[in-house]
Amino acid sequence: MSFYVTRCYSSFVAITVCTMLLLTGGCAKIPERHPLPLEMSSKASVGDIPEARFWGDEWPKYSVEIFETYTETDFQQHFAGVYKQPHNYLAISGGGANGAFGAGLLAGWAAYGTRPKFTMVTGVSTGALTAPFAFLGAEYDETLKKLYTTITTKDIVEKRNVLSAAFGDSVADSAPLKRLLAQYITPELVEAIGREHQRGRRLFIGTLNLDAARSVIWNIGAIALSDFPGKMDLIHNLLLASASIPVAFPPVVINVSADGKIYDEIHVDGGTGSQVFVYPAAMDWREITQKLKVKDKPQVYVLRNSFIGSGYDQVERTVLPIASRAIDSLIRTQGIGDLYQILALCKRDGNEFNLAYIPSSFIEKPNEAFDKIYMSKLYQLGYEMGSKGYDWKKKPPGF
């Protein structure tokens, strides 16, 4: 999403100048916060759903209790769809409009005939938007194709005027994306996710809790299966939050309760904490697979909606190009670091590592943040790679 980041930083500089020149008046007021106190963080819940979320660097307590107390009969009953079965995990990275690559690869993989039914799907940012459809299977591939080949930037964001942005919380308004999520993430789809969760399959997406500066993993299936009356809006907000780039898009407020009081947390793009994840390193995944009597070696598929290499681009010696290039480099190298962590976890836990990414041979450039022509070509590239039987990489390049 470097194109959009560059534009955002251009706007940000203009806004900063205006802010220094203006004193006040005529600007939209940001609602006051009622932030969750630190001492309440361990007590806070969302919609009274115990399994709704956990920190991205911890083994959730409810999961530990399950694997310490469940009998074999319990596992057979509560994990009927994954017990004594092969396990296939799909992790989808961020990447903005480059999510078209992953959508195309998934569809091509299904056409080739070897795409498995995933035991678990995780997603961050654009990967979080793809994840619910990938989780439910190939019957939603046409929906993904439509999402990644027909939308434009105006379907995702609305530009704010200088005054609103200067005194607000972002350069752009993500209301169009929220409407798009409401259109595609329907009650029927959420109900289907809940049914699969009941069978033991898992759908997780990542956000970053800005107050704590820690990644949060959200259990979308548990939320979908719950009786929480606001679960539809919550799921829409979580998907929106996972894709909300700080400064570019507004942070998303998530209400939580603790000791009978309502507080708020603000969440932003999960990619600011991790570009892609499978499960926290703190989890003893071998114990999990042993208790579930997993058949064969679990397969981990990492779908990176980005390039691996940086490419060469002469940088103009002014603030914006320097900042843009540095941020692009930071995002890219963080994402590669995430790949190495996943590879290390696979080696530790006995899983098979599989990686796909955009090849350097794709040299098209977008004309806007979400360019239909660019995304259509990238989708087609992914589809062709998948439909020919993609040769998944067993390690990151250069390892």
DSSP per position, 175-226: HHHHHHHHHHS-HHHHHHHHHHHHTT-EEEEEEEETTTTEEEEEEHHHHHHS
Q: What is the mean pLDDT of residues 67-90?
A: 95
Residue 307 has pLDDT above 60, yes or no: yes
Beta strand segments in the chain, E:
53-55, 88-92, 120-124, 158-159, 172-173, 202-209, 214-219, 252-258, 261-269, 299-304, 352-357
Instruction: State residue 298's pLDDT score.
Output: 98
Burial of 42: CB neighbours in 10 Å, binned 0-12, 13-18, 19+: exposed
pLDDT band at residue 10 under the 50/70/90 scheme: very low
Q: What is the mean pLDDT of residues 243-256?
A: 92
Residue 81 has pLDDT above 80, yes or no: yes
Residue 25 has pLDDT above 50, yes or no: no
Residue 251 has pLDDT above 80, yes or no: yes
User: CB of 263 within 8 A of CB of 44?
Assistant: yes
Residue 370 has pLDDT above 50, yes or no: yes
pLDDT tens sequence across 99-112: 999 999 999 999 99
Q: What is the mean pLDDT of residues 376-383?
A: 98
Sorted by sequence, the CB contacts under 8 Å of residue 73 that are 6+ apart come out as none
pLDDT band at residue 7 under the 50/70/90 scheme: very low
pLDDT band at residue 253 under the 50/70/90 scheme: very high
Length reported for the chain: 399
Instruction: State residue 275's pLDDT score.
Output: 94
Residue 121 has pLDDT above 60, yes or no: yes
Q: What is the mean pLDDT of residues 302-322?
A: 87
How big, in percent rounded to 5, are the helix, strand and coil portions of the chain? 45, 15, 40
pLDDT tens sequence across 190-244: 999 999 999 999 999 999 999 999 999 999 999 999 999 999 999 999 999 999 9
pLDDT band at residue 29 under the 50/70/90 scheme: low
Lowest mean pLDDT segment, chosen from 34-43, 67-76, 196-205? 34-43
Please report the sign of the dihedral spanned by the C-alpha atoms of residue 117, residue 139, residue 113, residue 125. Answer: negative
Residue 329 has pLDDT above 90, yes or no: no
pLDDT tens sequence across 344-367: 999 999 999 999 999 999 999 999
Residue 2 has pLDDT above 90, yes or no: no
Quick check: helix, strand or coil at residue 140? helix
Residue 1 has pLDDT above 80, yes or no: no
Cα 236 from Cα 132, distance rounded (Å): 11
Q: What is the mean pLDDT of residues 147-165?
A: 85
Residue 22 has pLDDT above 50, yes or no: no
